[in-house]
Chain A
Amino acid sequence: MIGTGVATLAGFRYWYPGAGDPSIDGVDLDVASGITLVAGASGSGKSSLLRVFNGLVPHFHGGTVTGAATVCGHDVIATPTRLLATKVGFVFQDPELQSVYPSVERDVAFGLENIGTPAAVMRRRVSEALERTGITHLSGRAVSTLSGGERQRLALAGVLAMRPRLLVLDEPLSQLDDAGARALTATLIDLADEGIAMVVAEHRFEHLGALPGRSLAVDHGRVVDAPASKPSHATSFLGVRAAGGLASAPVAWSLDRVAAGPAREAVLESVSVDGRLGEVVALVGPNGGGKTTLLRTIAGLLTPISGTVHRAPGRVAYLPQNPMALLHRPTVGAEVAWTVRGETQSANAAALIAELGLTHLADRDPRDLSTGERQRAAIAAVMAGAPHIALLDEPTRGMDEAARDALCSVIVRMRNAGCSIVLATHDRNLAAAVADRTIAVGSGSARELSPVAVA
């Protein structure tokens, strides 16, 4: 049965090329105006489902389809994505990989250029889109100089300029700091008020819980109505901490009046902080504030412009923001085994894989996994063995709640084993759950937000 909403799926099944099981399994769905929130575990099929709305599934990805899908009156299976682009705007998970042109205005105009919009109209629409997304002040800037949050809004401006009837957003908050997430959420509410239908897949419900509309859950490719989304919990994992205080623990790393930054341009100025063995330190702060610079300086990947850095002897585990930077072995299991090659604790690798819920994925190629699954695989790859210091840059990116809980358990277990862990994160629930100390990084400085917690 075909419904009367903006988008309708009827008995829709989809198999990726060569896949045995369908990624979308018999979905009947009617998307009306307003906001439709889509939840679901990593790898549940959310991203595949979203791609049906603009025809990327099946037109871009290939594969096999049965059933029917209609969007804004167009049969998705018979209409190429490029022709649906005037009706459906799609904002992808990774804003860094969707900028086409190097300057802000040109990038916003890209879609309008493609559909042959006259230059005068284009300029007006670009200006409106920048204003609507609150980034007029970025006019004239090079895209490469924008923070993750600014890029996310730029991507939104690019699709809004085309005036879509349906807006699809795949984890739009995954890289945003709290302020950016709040601003984007407010923008989405405004757009919904203006009559634009929206489908939003997200794990960070602490912000989206405020969004009015319908909630769905995707589970193994099937869609079910879900109760209204609840804010993520911030359960403390600190209760399982081993007895013993931190004050007497040896210093694992320290920065003394350090100035540092990429290309020798100081992002951090005269920063003095330290961390102890058996301690979790959370670095929080706005996008572009210097959290990654601080992590890289501790890791020794960035030579300080001035000041001194001390690290206790032992292996330093480092998780970069992009998990694909370190996943290059044919399977998840091989990836983890590569890290612990030559280490006596290599038997722990299998346990870590299980702890992070990756056992069933151990023989899969990391590149075939969803964003959240890749992130867990990358964490397993760096945390395997017995690092003395673990530096994790946005470790919960793309993770569902269950995976985040598993990560919290791993972090606390390793801390109790004496590892010094530093997290750079926007995820305030993660910081609240596992951090002994929180350091705010921004405007060139690092400031302690709470005293050392002694168990």
Chain B
Amino acid sequence: MNPRALAVWSLSGVTIALSTGSPVYRTLVLLCALNVLIAFRRPGVSVRGLLIALVAAAAIALATTTLASHTGDHAFLVLPAGIPVIGGPLTLEASLFGLSTGVGIAAAVLAAAPLSLVLQPHALVDALPGALARTGAAIGTALNLIPGIARSATEIRDAQRMRGWRSRRVREWPDLAVPVVLTALEGSITLAEAMEARGYGSGVRTHYSEQVWRRQDVLVALVSAAAACAFIGLRVTGAITDWYPFPELMWPGVSVAGVLCCCALATPLLVWRR
């Protein structure tokens, strides 16, 4: 897949997820994004941690809204009014609003996630416009340092443990943190030296892997961008209505055009080879 096409798809997904309050459209974006992520993630990349974090974020949104907003006619529990902030009726409206917010957050994050979990970091960096090529190479190199820092942290921890260092004592944590930071800095300087020695910054950069636009890539980019534009247009013209459970709880409105715009985000699943 072309990284720029995937970037267009991600941007479109995030745009739709953030431009609507309707849990229906948000859920559709979430499902499309989750499927794309699982289908195209890099080999060996786990999405479990991300999903746990998103469930936690959605749960926090649900709990916060439920406990702090006491608006709505459908109370399912009343906490004593004397309890600061959360005291008062807990309403179904507030819970549904919190849940919808959580789904929106998850949908937006999942739409952006393929940029880091599907693409190699350098592929995304290479996709930057020519004017940002040097900055991009620097970012890519910095990203490449991260696994090395993790390895060095393990190595340092082991070496210090063998000299009697114990992680239980907070005052001894600097014995681990200081060498990790210094080693990372030193590694960065050595890498910068190596980059300079290989001509980094000497002029206009070219790319080893040319980013070829295949028909499938063009299709994904065009359909995704068109879907996002159409969705925004429908929102502006009022053809797609927003959903707000206050003051009266009602079912969210569903527009066929809006559903089609969201489902268009599934295009990668249909045209890109897994």
Indicate if B190 sits at the interface (CB-CB under 8 A).
yes
Give the residue among B147, B201, B202 with the most A Cβ atoms within 10 A: B202
Q: Pick from B148, B163, B205: contact of A326, CB below 8 A.
A: B163
**Is A85 within 8 A of B202, CB to CB?**
yes
Which residues from chain B contact A103 at a C-beta distance below 8 Å? Answer: 120
Main secondary structure of the interface of B (DSSP, over half): helix
Indicate if A36 sits at the interface (CB-CB under 8 A).
no
Please report the total number of B residues contacting A with Cβ < 8 Å.
47
Q: What is the count of residue pairs linking A and B with beta-carbon distances less than 8 angstroms?
A: 152
Complex CA–CA separation, A333 to B158 (angstroms): 22
**Is A100 within 8 A of B162, CB to CB?**
no
> How far apart are A185's CB and chain B's nearest CB, in angstroms?
22
Complex CA–CA separation, A122 to B205 (angstroms): 12
Complex CA–CA separation, A82 to B194 (angstroms): 10
Q: Pick from A56, A86, A96, A126: contact of B199, CB below 8 A.
A: A86
**Is B209 within 8 A of A100, CB to CB?**
no
**Is B190 within 8 A of A324, CB to CB?**
no
Which residues from chain A contact B72 at a C-beta distance below 8 Å? Answer: none
**Is B147 within 8 A of A144, CB to CB?**
yes
Give the residue among B191, B204, B205, B206 with the most A Cβ atoms within 10 A: B206
Interface residues of B in 190-225 (CB under 8 A from A): 190-210
> How far apart are B180's CB and chain A's nearest CB, in angstroms?
9
B179, closest chain A residue (CB)? A328
> How far apart are B10's CB and chain A's nearest CB, in angstroms?
22
> How far apart are B121's CB and chain A's nearest CB, in angstroms?
8
**Is B187 within 8 A of A97, CB to CB?**
yes
Indicate if A197 sits at the interface (CB-CB under 8 A).
no
Which residues from chain B contact A159 at a C-beta distance below 8 Å? Answer: 198
**Is A338 within 8 A of B163, CB to CB?**
yes
Complex CA–CA separation, A320 to B202 (angstroms): 37
A111-119, A213-221, A225-233, A411-419 - the one binding chain B: A111-119
Which residues from chain A contact B194 at a C-beta distance below 8 Å? Answer: 90, 92, 97-98, 100
Indicate if A106 sits at the interface (CB-CB under 8 A).
yes
Q: A85-B198, A85-B199 are in contact. Are A92 and B144 (CB under 8 A)?
A: no
Indicate if B259 sits at the interface (CB-CB under 8 A).
no
> How far apart are A258's CB and chain B's nearest CB, in angstroms?
18
Q: A92-B194, A96-B148, A320-B155 are in contact. Are A325 and B206 (CB under 8 A)?
A: no
Q: Pick from A56, A86, A144, A339: contact of B196, CB below 8 A.
A: A56
Indicate if B242 sits at the interface (CB-CB under 8 A).
no
Complex CA–CA separation, A183 to B132 (angstroms): 40
> How far apart are B140's CB and chain A's nearest CB, in angstroms?
7
Indicate if B178 sits at the interface (CB-CB under 8 A).
yes
> How far apart are B211's CB and chain A's nearest CB, in angstroms?
10
Report, as a range, how many residues of chain A touch the other chain: 35 or more
Q: A56-B196, A102-B122, A324-B186 are in contact. Are A82 and B201 (CB under 8 A)?
A: yes
Complex CA–CA separation, A339 to B163 (angstroms): 6
B143, closest chain A residue (CB)? A102
Interface residues of A in 152-201 (CB under 8 A from B): 158-159, 162
Indicate if B27 sits at the interface (CB-CB under 8 A).
no
Which residues from chain A contact B175 at a C-beta distance below 8 Å? Answer: 328
Indicate if A129 sits at the interface (CB-CB under 8 A).
no
Q: Pick from B195, B198, B202, B209: contact of A83, CB below 8 A.
A: B202
**Is A113 within 8 A of B208, CB to CB?**
yes
B interface footprint on A332-349 (CB within 8 Å = 1, 0 otherwise) = 000000110100000000
Which residues from chain A contact B162 at a C-beta distance below 8 Å? Answer: 299, 301, 316-318, 382
Which residues from chain A contact B201 at a C-beta distance below 8 Å? Answer: 82, 114
> How far apart are A419's CB and chain B's nearest CB, in angstroms?
15
> How far apart are B118's CB and chain A's nearest CB, in angstroms?
15
> How far apart are A93's CB and chain B's nearest CB, in angstroms?
9
Indicate if A327 sits at the interface (CB-CB under 8 A).
yes
Interface residues of A in 361-403 (CB under 8 A from B): 367, 381-382
Give the residue among A102, A109, A317 with the most B Cβ atoms within 10 A: A102
**Is B197 within 8 A of A56, CB to CB?**
yes
Indicate if B160 sits at the interface (CB-CB under 8 A).
yes
> How far apart are A422's CB and chain B's nearest CB, in angstroms?
13
**Is B198 within 8 A of A328, CB to CB?**
no
Q: A97-B190, A318-B158, A328-B175 are in contact. Are A110 and B198 (CB under 8 A)?
A: yes
Give the residue among B120, B160, B197 with the most A Cβ atoms within 10 A: B197
Give the residue among B159, B207, B210 with the most A Cβ atoms within 10 A: B159
Indicate if B74 sits at the interface (CB-CB under 8 A).
no
Which residues from chain A contact B178 at a C-beta distance below 8 Å? Answer: 328
A86, closest chain B residue (CB)? B199
Task: List 13 A-B pairs, Cβ < 8 Å.
Answer: A59-B196, A60-B192, A82-B199, A85-B202, A90-B197, A110-B198, A113-B137, A113-B206, A115-B199, A119-B207, A144-B147, A322-B183, A324-B179
Not counting A60-B193, A100-B141, a sample of 19 additional A-B residue pairs whose C-beta atoms are within 8 angstroms of each other reads A54-B197, A56-B197, A60-B196, A85-B202, A90-B197, A92-B197, A97-B191, A101-B122, A102-B120, A102-B122, A106-B209, A110-B195, A114-B201, A119-B207, A162-B199, A299-B158, A318-B159, A326-B160, A382-B162
